[in-house]
Structure 1
Amino acid sequence: MQTTTTTARRTAARAIALLGASALALAGCSLTDDLGQAPADPTNAATPTASAEPTATSLPDDDVPLVAVVSTTPLGSVVGQIAECGGGRAETIMGIGDDPHSFQPSSAQVAEMANAPLIVISGMDLEGSLISAVESAALDGANVLAIGPLVDPLTFDETGGSHDHDGDGTPDHDDETHEHDSGYDPHWWLDASRMATAAALIGDALAEETGGAAFAECGAQLSEELLTLDAEITEILAGVEHRELVTDHQAFGYFAARYDFEIVGAVIPSLNTDAEPSSADLAELVHIIEEHQVAAIFANVGATTALADAVAEEVGFDVQIVPLYTESLGPAGSGAETYQDMMRTNAHLIADALEG
């Protein structure tokens, strides 16, 4: 991990430098454009306190300094663990069940972003409606760390995703309203090894921004724990023989690439959960499920399963609808209260559905 951690430190320093207000003002581009090189390592970290797994939405303690504001709950869980380990706290803008594609922040949340030492987002067009507020905060001097572009992102072609954000069923490559689209699949956190890389980046970024060297060591420590989680997920899924997935929308490309699955179809052939498939799309999916003998359609917890139910009813054998935690953690008692819990639960649900 020494090489990985050193690279993470360098990349984090570069990312923050390029995502500051002056860089945005001069470049006039998306927060997620830079995949660049990196400068020297920051100061070595001190030994941190033991890590924990707080939820992303735990109530703040006003006596504990706010060190970061985070966009999504899976990312918020990881940032929160690093922050708590290093003696700070992080606030997550989105709540349990919020869809990052369509989430709108309140005025109070926008103000909180502007006051945080660091704003951490996934990037690559995931937080579509939040990005304007993040860009405004950056122009006011806030430092922004977009993690997605820094964890070896995959293109839409590599994950089998459609570059369709507006939900009209057609790719958006020539759509002027998406001129800053990254061209990358933004669902990187469903690969635990990439989240391990992210943890090291975040720890070093927090150390750089706050001057608290312990955050860097906390990030490195959590990175190691997430690599162990990655191996655990691989083991949970090792016994699955039928490794073809059908999902409710195109969100599991990174998961499939990391854990040796193939995405053969999606109810909504888009990265956007609000897109509407045509009747021909649904008929083709029924054919694919029957041809590949797929036992389950994996849906998104909290989202409607009406279309998935309709597809399952048309298939000539029983097909389960299995909800997974895709873009949000789960509430207390769900088994998906932290990022680690979410990934373990998803792995068990997939294994149980496909082994049955």
Structure 2
Amino acid sequence: MTHSPSVPALVRGRRRALMPGALGLTALLTLSACGAGPDGGTSPEGAEATSSAPQGEVVAVATTTQLGSVLGQITDCVGTGSVAVMGPGDDPHDFSASSQQVAQMAGAEMVFANGLGLEAGLEAALSNAAADGATILEVAPELDPLPFTAVDGHDDHAGETAEEHAEHADEAEGDAHDGHDHGPLDPHVWMDAGRMAQAAEVMGEDLAQQTGEPRYADCGGEVKADLAEVDQQVAQILAEIPEDRRTLVTDHAAYNYLAEAYGLEVSGVVIPGGSTDAEPSSQELAALVDQIRDSGADALLTSVGAGSSTVQAVAQEVGDVPVVELYESGIGPAGSGAETYAEAMVFNARALADALT
């Protein structure tokens, strides 16, 4: 499934000019003071979109649970509402929206999408929302995205600056595995809490420009500071992992940002490409098992609830490499301890540190 940008209103890789929303919902909103903490915001449950405020007060929609959680902190701070289209357990690579969710996107002032080819199943819905007058913003292109490499997250370019990473983008496009569903840039930006802190600022500023309410920018700055603290907490937890226990194999190429931000190395990927809907050949699996043994990989990462038989087969074949389940595809359901983006990132750090120390 190769992504091709088919939505004229979405500008890939740069901020698009803001346009008035279709319904002017801000006239309906009652605004209150800021006060959300780092764990505040939306915690969607199930496939249907869920809101952080009463029905009729929704000012913005996010596609993924991670963006929805951060957006929920911002709108809660201002006293308005937001919706996350996806819920816990939804895979953003193959998610498709219900008619109700399509209507929610079309009726919102703004829709925040991850972009960079992540939400291929939502292209038609986003196109319809843009045609109805909603402003669409792709967040990932705003966050200095990393290039895909032949083995994503591998320390081939460790220590590079963002500018040096950008210089390798063309090279990465040529080296990318044929099974990649995304373009030359990696869409999995949420695996770096520092980048999501930047996302909060971007979203707050754009909501302020769109609605004319400056408190969105102020609250975006507050959430940015909260998530910067989360970033530091994650870094401190992962710093406990010994230097000789930091080599990972992942279920799919979604952990480049985690590795780059927190000093880890990915030596192999089970499922080819940046999506979860590809399958490796028997030859690729055999080569990966050999690579894991040769590199001395310390853990095999997979997404909570993925239940990949391929991942389990690789782990069984290798024998002594633990399988660590992280909240990668989305935040967790109620009672999981990972119900917000901030909680999910701390959960992930602790799970990984516990497995490797």
TM-score (normalizing by structure 2): 0.81
Q: CA RMSD in A?
A: 2.6
For the residue of structure 1 that corresponds to 2:187, the secondary structure is coil
Give, in angstroms, the shift of residue 35 of structure 1: 2.4
Q: Classify 1:38/1:193 alpha carbon distance in 2 versus 1 (closer, same or farther; 3 Å).
A: farther
Give, in angstroms, the shift of residue 47 of structure 1: 9.7
Residue matched to 2:66: 74
Give, in angstroms, the shift of residue 261 of structure 1: 1.0
Per-residue Cα deviation, 1:257-316 (whole angstroms, up to 9, x for no partner): 11111110111121110101011111111112212222321111121231111111211x
> Is the 2:51–2:58 contact (alpha carbons within 8 Å) kept by the matching residues of 1?
no
Counterpart pick for 2:43 among 22, 35, 56: 56
Q: Classify 1:293/1:28 alpha carbon distance in 2 versus 1 (closer, same or farther; 3 Å).
A: closer
> Is the 1:64–1:87 contact (alpha carbons within 8 Å) kept by the matching residues of 2?
no
2:260 pairs with 1:268 = no
Q: Classify 1:49/1:29 alpha carbon distance in 2 versus 1 (closer, same or farther; 3 Å).
A: closer
Residue matched to 1:219: 220
For the residue of structure 1 that corresponds to 2:60, the secondary structure is strand
> Is the 1:47–1:214 contact (alpha carbons within 8 Å) kept by the matching residues of 2?
no
Residue matched to 2:166: none
Residue matched to 1:294: 297
1:176-191 alignment runs, 5 A limit: 182-191=183-192
> Is the 1:33–1:182 contact (alpha carbons within 8 Å) kept by the matching residues of 2?
no
Q: Classify 1:131/1:86 alpha carbon distance in 2 versus 1 (closer, same or farther; 3 Å).
A: same
> Is the 1:64–1:88 contact (alpha carbons within 8 Å) kept by the matching residues of 2?
no
For the residue of structure 1 that corresponds to 2:300, the secondary structure is strand
Give, in angstroms, the shift of residue 234 of structure 1: 0.8
Could you tell me how far apart the structure 2 residues matched to 1:308 and 1:70 are? Answer: 30
Q: Classify 1:59/1:160 alpha carbon distance in 2 versus 1 (closer, same or farther; 3 Å).
A: closer
Counterpart pick for 2:77 among 80, 85, 91: 85
Q: Give structure 1 stretches of 5+ with no counterpart.
A: 1-23, 40-45, 173-177
> Is the 1:85–1:218 contact (alpha carbons within 8 Å) kept by the matching residues of 2?
yes
TM-score (normalizing by structure 1): 0.81
Give, in angstroms, the shift of residue 62 of structure 1: 3.1
Give, in angstroms, the shift of residue 244 of structure 1: 1.1
Residue matched to 1:148: 140
Residue matched to 1:285: 288
Give, in angstroms, the shift of residue 140 of structure 1: 2.1
Residue matched to 2:91: 99
Counterpart pick for 2:355 among 343, 353, 356: 353
Could you tell me how far apart the structure 2 residues matched to 1:292 and 1:127 are? Answer: 33
1:1-356 alignment runs, 5 A limit: 29=8, 31-35=10-14, 48-52=33-37, 53-57=40-44, 59=51, 61-62=53-54, 65-157=57-149, 160=152, 170-171=178-179, 182-241=183-242, 242-315=245-318, 317-355=319-357
Could you tell me how far apart the structure 1 residues matched to 2:311 and 2:255 are? Answer: 16
Per-residue Cα deviation, 1:132-185 (whole angstroms, up to 9, x for no partner): 210221122110111000011111129727979xxxx7246xxxxx8xx64211
Q: Classify 1:270/1:34 alpha carbon distance in 2 versus 1 (closer, same or farther; 3 Å).
A: closer
Residue matched to 1:18: none
> Is the 1:67–1:90 contact (alpha carbons within 8 Å) kept by the matching residues of 2?
yes
Could you tell me how far apart the structure 2 residues matched to 1:264 and 1:114 are? Answer: 42
Could you tell me how far apart the structure 1 residues matched to 2:8 and 2:283 are? Answer: 37
> Is the 1:115–1:142 contact (alpha carbons within 8 Å) kept by the matching residues of 2?
yes
Q: Classify 1:153/1:294 alpha carbon distance in 2 versus 1 (closer, same or farther; 3 Å).
A: same
One-letter amino acid of the structure 2 residue matched with residue 189 of structure 1:
W
One-letter amino acid of the structure 1 residue matched with residue 184 of structure 2:
G
Give, in angstroms, the shift of residue 61 of structure 1: 4.0
Could you tell me how far apart the structure 2 residues matched to 1:310 and 1:328 are? Answer: 24
> Is the 1:298–1:324 contact (alpha carbons within 8 Å) kept by the matching residues of 2?
yes
Aligned residues: 312
Q: Classify 1:110/1:184 alpha carbon distance in 2 versus 1 (closer, same or farther; 3 Å).
A: same
Q: Classify 1:118/1:159 alpha carbon distance in 2 versus 1 (closer, same or farther; 3 Å).
A: farther
